[in-house]
Structure 1
Amino acid sequence: MSLFSNLKPKKVLFIATRQIGDVLVTTPLISKARELWPDAEFHFLGYRGKLEMLKGNTDITQIIETSDRPSFTEYLALFFRLFQRYDLAFVTQPSDRAYAYGLVAARTRVGILGGHPQGLTEQDKLKKNKSDKQNLWKKAISLHTVQVDYFDQHVITEKIRLLEIFFQHTASLFSKPISVSPPAGEAISVSIANQLRSPYIVMHPGPLTAYKRWPLAYWQTLITWAVQQGWQVVLSASPAKQDLQLNRDILSLLDAETRQKVVDTAGQLSIPQASSLIRGAIAYVGVDTSITHLAAACNTPTIALFGPTPPTNFGPWPNGFIGEQPYQLRARTQMVGNVTILQGPGTCVPCRKAGCDDHVNSKSECLDQLEPNQVIEALKNAT
């Protein structure tokens, strides 16, 4: 692989100002960059409370946290902390703020530009025109940019392609196994550890938004079946109120005998602790959320329930995969490495909308029609 750009940065900043899953999917890019610049110092800028996915990452020398809604005073302090301290910045999200941070921090920038789904409505076209205009200044300040493709390009590929400018033969970027680096594990509290019995399965029912939910009765059926196999079921969830309530609602549907074989860890685990829990599981079942990506990164057999989201864009990466695209856009069941992606029926799947009614509290018929038997068959094949 021969260098295309002569840039040899001593200090590099990676910028990921979004959710914890967006931080995790930058780790293959960081690993590839480390291969290219073994002696460079890498820093990472992200939102406070979203950076636990980087715990123990030996490639990162310093983590810089900022609020997702900074005050003027915080902006000013961050400006002086970042101002032209870096030779190169990787802007891994297309937001204006991320690019502004990159412009302040580094002499040279490469970055992701916003994209648009296929089959645009008139409203989408108006948004696209506005976005294209916003992209002009981002292109102008960047050495190299990569356009988001929500249907045909995986997010891991998208990030790694930021390195294209530094190589003459870019195909070799994907010629070796690519893996996501999970955070270092952390000891689980004694109260939870004492409840665990092997073999156990981790299940994570709660997504960030309601339109990615799988029906409560389906979780009841799946958990009951798993317990009948002699497995313990460990439920996980974020501390968010809706996720805690979701787990309580599921538990309320279980009969007393089944309930005794279920451990509810909802809101009690940090991301590194969740990593430890998942590593010890014989399998993981979860919806389209960041913890499902974490499970795949931990090399645990991972069953991911996908509805509107294209797996070709944001399916959990099967660790060690060689190439740019692990998945098909549409398949009821597809197993690649340690990851199985399940989709419901329908020619509209995946639509990339916020559910059938295109808002965060919408239902998704494709998930309502993804029946428990499909998940049970996937678990049989994965364990």
Structure 2
Amino acid sequence: MSSFSSYKPKKVLFIATRQIGDVLVTTPLISKARELWPEAEFHFMGYRGKLDMLKGNQDIAKIIETSDRPSFGEYLTLFFRLFQRYDLAFITQPSDRAYFYGSVAANKRVGVLGGHPQGLTELDRAKKSKSDKQNAWKKAICLHTVAVDYFHQHVITEKIRLLEAFCKTTADLFSKPISVTPPNGEAITPSIASKLQTTYVVVHPGPLTAYKRWPLAYWQTLITWMVAQGWQVVLSASPAKQDLQLNQDILSLLDDTTRKNVIDTAGQLTIPQAGTLIRTALAYVGVDTSITHLAAACNTPTIALFGPTPPSNFGPWPNGFIGEQPYQLKARSQTVGNITILQGPGECVPCRKAGCDDHVNSHSECLDQLEPTQVIEALQRITQK
């Protein structure tokens, strides 16, 4: 039994200073913490502009925003705002900055520790040794830590395991259905809503980084096939210039008949509005990005195209799954609940590198070889068409 299994904090801070998707995957941890401490007050700290995934979350009483590159003045303001205001801090990201915030905010802390992909090279061993040294002070200030495992531990399992210090056994945490909580929906922009037909599929081609992209010609083939089935296609995009341009590039490849049955949302939708759009879609197809996790959280039949990223670490969580690991590390196609994950071929899949050249603008051969026929077959299965 944990020595803290009877601990009842009154005020708790969750820290996720990273991207939009990283905020969303903390919601099962928050839900589990609420089960443990129904009377506690929960606050959440994250980067400004990255917290829309928490819109309307009933478990969060207050949201604290910070910039991703705070000035000295902002650090000072945060210090006085946070200083020992909490009984417990959950540090859900392994960065030094997140640990600094946690150490300032609470006298008890639990946190995620960074790791390194398992390998046998001298470089890998050197990096792991350096990581272990960097983690030493983080372990010292926490009553419990959970190490990242980029290949074999799902990120949601990683977050939930932060509660091990407060439960009798780890099995208690994974014996009931686990779900991701999406943001409350908001009304879709009228100019888009007025064009929606009864049966539509949402397609999100744009990832945060280029090495997660699927080839343009493949989107052309897939969208042309979907329109031929009598479905409308709604192209989703963030307001980022590269996403808007990507959608325009895809549209430019479509023939006139197909293009007339495609709506480009052109970055006009907020995250909560995107949730509303996705909830009533026939299906969703997207790359490895935060909106794909949102689609899964909305319980819409979801097809996720994965390249270098291990689905066993960051595959969209199938709501209601019981257990610690929904996915295999490698499978050309695997379906759990409403989620289908497709991977390309190759012995190196998944490598967890930034594409074949290991930089953000690299291509990924595994995605180049994930052909449209594989996605079409998956769509036929999930729509029974």
TM range (shorter): over 0.9
Are the aligned partners of 2:2 and 2:165 in contact in 1 as well (CA < 8 Å)? no
Matched, 1:10 2:5: no
Q: Distance in 2 between matches of 1:67 and 1:291?
A: 22
Residue 20 of structure 1: aligned partner: 20
The offset of 1:3, in angstroms, is 7.8
* One-letter amino acid matched to 1:77: T
Secondary structure of the residue aligned to 2:354 is coil
- SS of the equivalent of 1:219 reads helix
Instruction: Give the equivalent residue in structure 2 for 1:261.
Output: 261
| Residue 239 in structure 1 maps to residue 239 in structure 2 | yes
Query: 2:108 aligns to what SS in structure 1?
Result: strand
* In structure 1, distance between residues paired with 2:313 and 2:243: 25
Partner of 1:74: 74
Q: Is the 8 A contact 1:346 1:366 kept in 2?
A: yes
Question: CA 1:65 to 1:380, structure 2 compared with 1: closer, same or farther past 3 Å?
Answer: same
Q: In 1, Cα distance between the equivalents of 2:19 and 2:271? A: 13
Task: Report the counterpart of residue 271 of structure 2 in structure 1.
Answer: 271
> Aligned equivalents of 2:125 and 2:212: distance in 1?
25
Deviation at 1:375, TM superposition (A): 0.2
- Kindly provide the CA deviation profile for residues 280-312 of structure 1, in whole angstroms up to 9, marking residues without a partner as x: 101000000000000000000000000000000
**Conservation of the 8 A alpha-carbon contact between 1:182 and 1:275:** yes
The answer to whether the 8 Å contact 2:299/2:338 transfers is yes
Shift of 1:4: 4.6
Q: How does 1:1-383 map to 2 (within 5 A)?
A: 4-383=4-383
Deviation at 1:121, TM superposition (A): 3.5
Distance between the aligned counterparts of 2:115 and 2:17, measured in 1?
17
1:296-335 Cα deviation digits (max 9, x unpaired):
0000000000000000000000000000000000100000
In the TM superposition, residue 6 of structure 1 has moved relative to its aligned partner by 3.0
1:66-108 deviations in Å (ceiling 9; x for gaps): 0000011111111000000000000000000000000000010
TM-score by length of 2: 0.98
Deviations 1:23-50 (A, max 9, x none): 0000000000000000000000000000
Q: How many residues align?
A: 383
Change (3 A) 1:120 1:64: farther
C-alpha contact (below 8 Å) 2:204/2:287 kept by paired residues: yes
Q: Secondary structure at the match of 2:206?
A: coil
Distance 2:315 2:269 in 1: 24
Paired letter, 2:73 = T
Question: What is the CA-CA distance between 1:244 and the residue it aligns to?
Answer: 0.7
Which one is further off, 113-122 or 49-58?
113-122
**2 CA distance for matches of 1:182 and 1:124?**
37
State the SS of the aligned residue for 1:13.
Answer: strand
CA RMSD of aligned residues (A): 1.1
TM-score computed with the length of structure 1 as normaliser = 0.99
Counterpart secondary structure, 1:239: coil
1: distance between equivalents of 2:6 and 2:74? Answer: 35
C-alpha separation in 2, matches of 1:117 and 1:36? 33
Deviation at 1:118, TM superposition (A): 1.7
**Contact 2:90 / 2:110 at 8 angstroms: preserved in 1?**
yes
SS of corresponding position for 2:202: strand
Runs of at least 5 residues in structure 1 that lack an aligned partner in the other structure: none
Counterpart Cα distance in 1 of 2:198 and 2:370: 28
1:112–1:145: 8 Å Cα contact kept in structure 2? Answer: yes
